Structure 1
Amino acid sequence: MQNSKASLIEKYNIPAPRYTSYPTVPLWANDLKQQNWTSFVKQAFDDFGEKEGVTLYIHLPYCESLCTYCGCNKRITKNHKVETPYIESIILEWKKYLEIFEGIPKLAGIHLGGGTPTFFSADSLKEMLGFILKHAQVMDNAEFSFEGHPNNTTREHLQTLYDLGFRRVSYGIQDFDPLVQKTIHRIQPFERVKEATEVAREIGYTSINFDLIYGLPHQSLETITDTFEKVSLLKPDRIAYYSYAHLPSVFKAQRSFEEFLPNEQQKRSFYEKGKEILSEMGYFEIGMDHFSLEKDPLYQAKTQRGLHRNFMGYTTSPSKILLGLGNSSISDVYYAYAQNDKNIESYKAQINDFGIAIQKGHIMSEEDLQTRDLILKLICNHKADWNAEFYQGLEAKHLSKLRQFQAEGLLEYDGKGIKIKAEGIPFIRIICMTFDKRMQAKEEMQYGFSKAI
């Protein structure tokens, strides 16, 4: 018998990974050494580089002020003298990868994240990207994007990056309510967001994304509705509507507003309200937390089952090589994962000495590869086929969970595959955990995941 949505939310609103990777980072085996990493990078480049290219994620960690809700790796400073030595480290790291490739890489994409990428001046970004592009071949369908703070993304930033090939910008909006903005220390008036959006379109950007968050302090159905009414006036091409991840034990600044947070039922009602308004505005749900207009390439990829996912989110690029440059950035070369040292000074010192600054990593087993393939298909397409051997290999506890989800109306499955129903999409992280054998093997440990709903 199917349960009510409210009872299911209460039942399944437990800590769960977001599955931007499998295994998820806290469950990496940490069996990767620098020598192994370079060999895996070379193997991936030889196997996939020519056809699929290389995607770069560049982490730019500096911010001028602290947003108290934020869970990113960042450094707060108003000293812009830090730009040059950090850019020099990024360039040295890229030089090291060029040595490993032993060939000119094809670039399938670049994404600038942070921190606040637009903390860096347009000239600093041009110096860094100019060197990278000078030593690479840009693929015809490459996608270059960056995260911009509406308060400091200038026309010069937008024009400089556009001239370098960037066509997508993502603005971190979070919420338009003044009290919410004040509480989370992210004050950006609607008029400033409007200006940043219009200037980007005037220059020629073809895709604009807004990041919004539900579950923030002082939010209500009224403030959520008002935020979306303002968003509708600007009509971005994509919207990411994230659940606020409250982890005060990790991010101490979040303690400052704990008493003003909504309860679990209220938080879920904010998502349902936002999703309802987005549908009325003409947006389609792409995957976990993501929506786009019908004309957007993400929607087209979704309908054609060509959607992909990596540490940066949903993408149309099938590239199996994602290299992370900068402190704390994560790389995925299909056969292995690696994460750079999170500390900026340590990262720069290691790059200067070795050209690589890996802090931890994970070598994929054959079972890992199969599980990742299944989970990514579920997260991207809400369905996955499996062969008889895989189905017969499911343990009794896995089948029991699947029968339970099916009885609750969340999914359908048989010997040929699995399909998540519309009612099951909000619980997709919980469903994916069914196949997470690495987590099940260490289920007594706590990893600091945010709640699933």
Structure 2
Amino acid sequence: MTAVSTDLLRRFDVPGPRYTSYPTADRFVEAFRQEEYVHALDQRRSGAVARALPLSLYVHIPFCESLCYYCACNKIITKQHDRANIYLRYLGQEMDLHTAHCGTGQVVSQLHLGGGSPTFLSDDGLRELMAGLRRGFSLAPGGEYSIEVDPRTVNADRLAVLAGLGFNRLSFGVQDFDAEVQKAVHRIQPAQQVFALVEAARSLGFDSVNVDLIYGLPRQTPESFDRTLAQVVQLRPDRIALYAYAHLPERFKPQRHIVAANLPAAAAKLSMLSRSLDALLDAGYVYVGMDHFALPSDALAVAKRQGRLHRNFQGYSTQPDCDLIALGVSAIGRVGATYSQNAKTLQEYYDLLDQGRLPVVRGLALTRDDLVRRAVIMALMCQGIVLYESIEQGWLIDFKQYFAAELSHLHEMVEQGLVQINPDGIEVTAMGWFFVRGIAMVFDRYLQADRNRERFSRII
């Protein structure tokens, strides 16, 4: 990857969305509630094509035993594990309400448990959850069934329980192996603990192991992160998710524990990203896009090569644009041409379910323009290329006419070597991948009229 100049950084390192969806979740409206969501579920059940496609499921487990200062997730810090028993009971009610509308036994090809820390649940709690999911849905053989794992909450025996429950993919939250950085973010977990768990996961036959890393944390330097990268390369997980830390203490209270003066400067963050790319590519990883790397044999890298890569609320995915049913507090789903989000607090989530209502409190019904722009943005984020003919045939538009203003706005990025505009389409350059979020932002109709972009993280 070519070095990025400070001038490019100054011009294009701006706040912007991560585009795990388009329109982005901040565009959801409270006028979209249970009634609109139920209508989308009913439409899916009555549509032969939609009904035949497999589902994705996401289950949010909000509990954590301790607070990580960098965290921007919806979580509840508690050591009272009996709270999870109550939560599981309400999750069961939410599953029953879903199957009442979309039918029992819908085929699921992808399941992801996120949080919080899903491994906050006891082994019995995880068994209860999986039994409930299997009663309501049909988990397809060979599907992707993943769970986020806090290494501090599991051992080899617990990993064996996860394998027995049908999970075939694990994601370990590592962030950084440096002891000073771990202390600064209040998450102490020795490297040898993670190495032992990954070795155990391999012996148990998990299909894929992912490791999450974060650059831009307090007390990190390019040199200290090099050492973490060297350990990760030695660990050799199948996938690596490399995220930029977004310091937004006005939005996320835990981040107020972080001393801003201890954060690396923008140039140091860029150096970490550039050196990470070099280190991981040299180690044989495929740069899937923006924040994901994978070994060439991993399904994510294969999907990238074959042009089948997709992006959803969990990041890059091998799954096609299938409907996503989201369960649990704050969970975001997608059914048909709609997005929906559940209540963000346990009390409201429980209250709505006690009323016999699905706990959807906001969402969005996408317009035709939303769908066209989503196709363009996702092509940029996943393949790095937009072919005019593909969009024109799919949406019956004249691309150059429909996006005349956007193509004009891309000219500066063309001049800076971030994008190429060819007779057949638009292509992101190797340099442009640093700024792919900024390129996608050009096609975001909502963002172009929005002057309040500071609520987003910066794109580097």
CA deviation after TM superposition for structure 1 residue 25, in Å:
0.8
Percentage identity across aligned positions? 38
Q: Give unmatched runs, 5+ long, in structure 2.
A: none
Q: Does 1:154 align with 2:155?
A: yes
CA deviation after TM superposition for structure 1 residue 281, in Å:
1.0
Choose from 430, 434, 438 the match for 2:442: 434
Q: Tell whether the 8 Å contact from 1:240 to 1:291 is kept in structure 2 after alignment.
A: yes
Distance 1:447 1:225, change over 3 A: closer
Q: Does 1:368 align with 2:365?
A: no
Counterpart of 1:182, as a letter, is K
Counterpart of 1:39, as a letter, is H
Distance 1:447 1:6, change over 3 A: closer
Equivalent residue number for residue 417 of structure 1: 425
CA deviation after TM superposition for structure 1 residue 354, in Å:
2.1
**Hey, what's the Cα distance between the residues in 2 that align with 1:299 and 1:111?**
19
Q: Tell whether the 8 Å contact from 1:40 to 1:333 is kept in structure 2 after alignment.
A: yes
Q: Does 1:444 align with 2:446?
A: no
**Hey, what's the Cα distance between the residues in 1 that align with 2:200 and 2:49?**
37
Equivalent residue number for residue 85 of structure 2: 84
Q: Tell whether the 8 Å contact from 1:26 to 1:447 is kept in structure 2 after alignment.
A: no
Distance 1:123 1:48, change over 3 A: farther
Counterpart of 1:245, as a letter, is A
Q: Tell whether the 8 Å contact from 2:152 to 2:189 is kept in structure 1 after alignment.
A: yes
Equivalent residue number for residue 209 of structure 2: 208
Equivalent residue number for residue 52 of structure 1: 53
**Hey, what's the Cα distance between the residues in 2 that align with 1:209 and 1:112?**
14
Equivalent residue number for residue 5 of structure 2: 5
What SS is found at the alignment partner of 1:354? Answer: coil
Choose from 314, 317, 325 the match for 1:315: 317
Q: Tell whether the 8 Å contact from 1:27 to 1:439 is kept in structure 2 after alignment.
A: no
CA deviation after TM superposition for structure 1 residue 222, in Å:
1.7
Counterpart of 1:403, as a letter, is H
What SS is found at the alignment partner of 1:205? Answer: coil
Distance 1:319 1:165, change over 3 A: farther
Q: Tell whether the 8 Å contact from 1:96 to 1:356 is kept in structure 2 after alignment.
A: yes
**Hey, what's the Cα distance between the residues in 1 that align with 2:226 and 2:454?**
34
Deviations along 1:263-311, one digit per CA (max 9) or x if unpaired, are 1011100111111110111111001110000110111100000011100
Q: Tell whether the 8 Å contact from 2:41 to 2:101 is kept in structure 1 after alignment.
A: yes
CA deviation after TM superposition for structure 1 residue 206, in Å:
1.6
1:42-191 equivalence runs, <5 A: 42-45=42-45, 46-191=47-192
Deviations along 1:30-80, one digit per CA (max 9) or x if unpaired, are 441311211112223435544431111100000010000111110000011
**Hey, what's the Cα distance between the residues in 1 that align with 2:48 and 2:456?**
34
Q: Tell whether the 8 Å contact from 1:118 to 1:157 is kept in structure 2 after alignment.
A: no
Q: Tell whether the 8 Å contact from 1:225 to 1:274 is kept in structure 2 after alignment.
A: yes
Tell me the matched-pair count. Answer: 450
Q: Does 1:28 align with 2:36?
A: no
Choose from 265, 269, 272 the match for 1:270: 272
Q: Tell whether the 8 Å contact from 2:44 to 2:102 is kept in structure 1 after alignment.
A: no
**Hey, what's the Cα distance between the residues in 2 that align with 1:165 and 1:325?**
19
**Hey, what's the Cα distance between the residues in 1 that align with 2:29 and 2:427?**
30
CA deviation after TM superposition for structure 1 residue 380, in Å:
0.6
CA deviation after TM superposition for structure 1 residue 375, in Å:
0.7
CA deviation after TM superposition for structure 1 residue 155, in Å:
3.0
Q: Tell whether the 8 Å contact from 2:218 to 2:259 is kept in structure 1 after alignment.
A: yes
Equivalent residue number for residue 326 of structure 2: 324
CA deviation after TM superposition for structure 1 residue 389, in Å:
0.8
Counterpart of 1:102, as a letter, is G
Equivalent residue number for residue 198 of structure 1: 199
Q: TM-score normalised to the size of structure 1?
A: 0.96
- Superposition CA RMSD, Å: 1.7
**Hey, what's the Cα distance between the residues in 1 that align with 2:350 and 2:373?**
35
Deviations along 1:124-161, one digit per CA (max 9) or x if unpaired, are 01101111112322223410001001111233432222
- Mean alpha-carbon deviation: is it higher for 157-166 or for 227-236? 157-166
**Hey, what's the Cα distance between the residues in 2 that align with 1:199 and 1:303?**
30
Q: Tell whether the 8 Å contact from 1:122 to 1:156 is kept in structure 2 after alignment.
A: no
Q: Tell whether the 8 Å contact from 1:391 to 1:415 is kept in structure 2 after alignment.
A: no
1:287-302 equivalence runs, <5 A: 287-302=289-304
Q: Tell whether the 8 Å contact from 2:329 to 2:349 is kept in structure 1 after alignment.
A: yes
Equivalent residue number for residue 391 of structure 1: 400
Equivalent residue number for residue 410 of structure 2: 402
Q: Tell whether the 8 Å contact from 1:29 to 1:363 is kept in structure 2 after alignment.
A: no
What SS is found at the alignment partner of 2:6? Answer: helix
**Hey, what's the Cα distance between the residues in 2 that align with 1:372 and 1:111?**
23
Equivalent residue number for residue 17 of structure 2: 17
**Hey, what's the Cα distance between the residues in 2 that align with 1:153 and 1:243?**
26
CA deviation after TM superposition for structure 1 residue 415, in Å:
5.0
- Mean alpha-carbon deviation: is it higher for 376-385 or for 95-104? 95-104
Q: Tell whether the 8 Å contact from 1:44 to 1:335 is kept in structure 2 after alignment.
A: no
Counterpart of 1:305, as a letter, is G
